[in-house]
Amino acid sequence: MPFRLALLALLRHKARTMLALLGIAVSAALLLDMVMLATGMRDNFQGFLLLRGYQLRVAPKGTLPFDSDATIDSAATLVAAIARVSGVVAVSPVLGAQSQTTAHDSTVTAFTLGIDPRVQGDYELLRGADLADSVSIVANERWLALTRHRLGDTVQLAVGYDPQLRTVVGQRAFIVRGVARFFYTGTTQPTIAMRLPVLQEMGGNARRDHVSLLMVKAGDDVDVEAVRARIQAAGARVSVISLEGATAQVEQRLAYFRQLALVLGSISLGVGILLVTTLITIGVNERAGEIAVMRAIGVAKRSIVTQVVTEGLLLSGVGAFSGLLIGLVTAQWLERILADFPGMPATFRFFVFQPHDAGLALGMLGSAGVLAGIYPAWRASSLPIAGTLRREAVA
């Protein structure tokens, strides 16, 4: 009966109930989006780094991967040393450089990766063949579009271009063997990959036996942090960054989003609670006579409290469920906006829906609904019966 009475009380004023539901639904949508933004980015970033299962990154001392021009020298020795570290199952060296190619009177500058195709963790091949030999390259769609090349084409690539002297350090012909999707570069960034020794050779002395980054995979049953410590002990001139370390550093830089999410989520929740409280309090005031009569005929305080809190829960519950649907749609919209960030990797998602997020948002709104019902419920249950009936009779 309390549920039915609560439902009927809400249906009695359809316009105000619908408006409140709309407001709560939109607030719930915003809350869900902000929860998705706050937790999704972190989880997504971890998944983003773990795309090929490499849990550790080895970068030049004091830098983040590709955060500076700095490189690691004597790379072959370091790779061999790290491969010997207990618990390490694979080491993937990566060298980054800019390469130029001329296409139709313009020069296309591409971010170029030198990798070992047996252990590479930077791209997935979409079509064509991988880097079978030293004349092969794989490229992303953007590079192909800008250079207007196709699979099988032969291209001239230059590395170490000096714009002032118009000289290059190395220049060679390559065959475009494959089309790939690169995980860590933006979709608008033209990107290619070739075998590591080839890029090192083309880079001249500055690149010979140098790498920008090593990605390290530890065994599944191994303590990754222990492996990280062992590698760090083996290489004093590098920084070994674990997933947690990288996440912590990025999280520090992405603090804005968490704070934005926290502020907007809290405001949504706070305003929602205020609205539901106001709505139900006014409803209780309007029905003071009815409530007094119910108490007079023997309806317990507990039942009145249940009825009023149920009203709050119904409002916030229905609003929250509608809000979840709206939230998923608005998250797509916001994702499309943020995906336009220059250099944003295609694999990165800001908004990741997880049942846990929906549960958290629903839980917060449910608690908000109960919270919102407490004050009016207290008012309703503590109405003086005789006095209220007398006032109602006079009115």
Q: Which of residues 245-304 bind another protein (CB under 8 A)?
A: 249-250, 252-257, 259-260, 263-264, 268, 271, 275, 278-279, 282, 289-290, 293-301, 303
- What dihedral angle (degrees, nearest 10) is formed by the CA atoms of 210, 213, 215, 216? 70
Site for another protein in 77-106 (CB under 8 A): 96
Q: Is-contact 81 214, C-beta < 8 A?
A: no
Closest CA to 122 of 173, 176, 53, 202: 53
Give the pairing of strands 170-182 and 136-139.
Answer: parallel
Min CB(177)–another protein separation in Å: 22
Min CB(134)–another protein separation in Å: 24
- What dihedral angle (degrees, nearest 10) is formed by the CA atoms of 69, 70, 73, 77? -100
User: Which CB atom, from 12 or from 150, has the smaller least distance to another protein?
Assistant: 12
**Contact letters (x/-) for another protein, 300-339, by CB under 8 A?**
xx-x--------------------------x--xx--xx-
Residue choice 39, 63, 187, 347 for contact with another protein (CB under 8 A)? 63
Site for another protein in 179-198 (CB under 8 A): 184-186, 189, 191
Min CB(86)–another protein separation in Å: 28
Q: According to the binding rule CB under 8 A, does residue 68 interact with another protein?
A: yes
* Structure-token match 């492996």, residue found: 227
Min CB(221)–another protein separation in Å: 29
User: Which CB atom, from 117 or from 272, has the smaller least distance to another protein?
Assistant: 272
Q: Is-contact 381 309, C-beta < 8 A?
A: no
Cα–Cα separations (whole angstroms), residue 89 to 11, 49, 290: 64, 17, 74
Q: According to the binding rule CB under 8 A, does residue 27 interact with another protein?
A: yes
Angle of CA points 241, 244, 248, to nearest 5°: 95
Q: Token pair of 171, please?
A: 């220049």
Amino acid in the structure at residue 245: G
Residue 285: count of CB within 10 angstroms of its CB: 13
Min CB(50)–another protein separation in Å: 15
Task: Return the DSSP state at 137.
Answer: E
User: Which CB atom, from 179 or from 280, has the smaller least distance to another protein?
Assistant: 280
Closest CA to 331 of 355, 351, 358: 351
The window from 8-16, 124-132, 351-359, 365-373 that contacts another protein (CB under 8 A) reads: 8-16
Residue choice 229, 344, 371, 374 for contact with another protein (CB under 8 A)? 344
Q: CA Rg, the chain, in Å? A: 31
Q: Token pair of 137, please?
A: 């390259």
Residue choice 104, 205, 220, 342 for contact with another protein (CB under 8 A)? 342
**Contact letters (x/-) for another protein, 373-392, by CB under 8 A?**
------------xx--xx-x
Q: According to the binding rule CB under 8 A, does residue 343 interact with another protein?
A: yes
Identify the H or E element spanning 93. strand 88-103
Q: What is the size of the binding site for another protein (CB under 8 A)?
A: 90
Identify the H or E element spanning 150. none
Q: Is-contact 260 41, C-beta < 8 A?
A: no
User: Which CB atom, from 173 or from 393, has the smaller least distance to another protein?
Assistant: 393
User: Which CB atom, from 89 or from 338, has the smaller least distance to another protein?
Assistant: 338
Min CB(265)–another protein separation in Å: 11
Residue 103's Cα: distance from chain center in Å?
Answer: 36
Site for another protein in 147-186 (CB under 8 A): 162-166, 184-186
Residue choice 23, 121, 170, 312 for contact with another protein (CB under 8 A)? 23
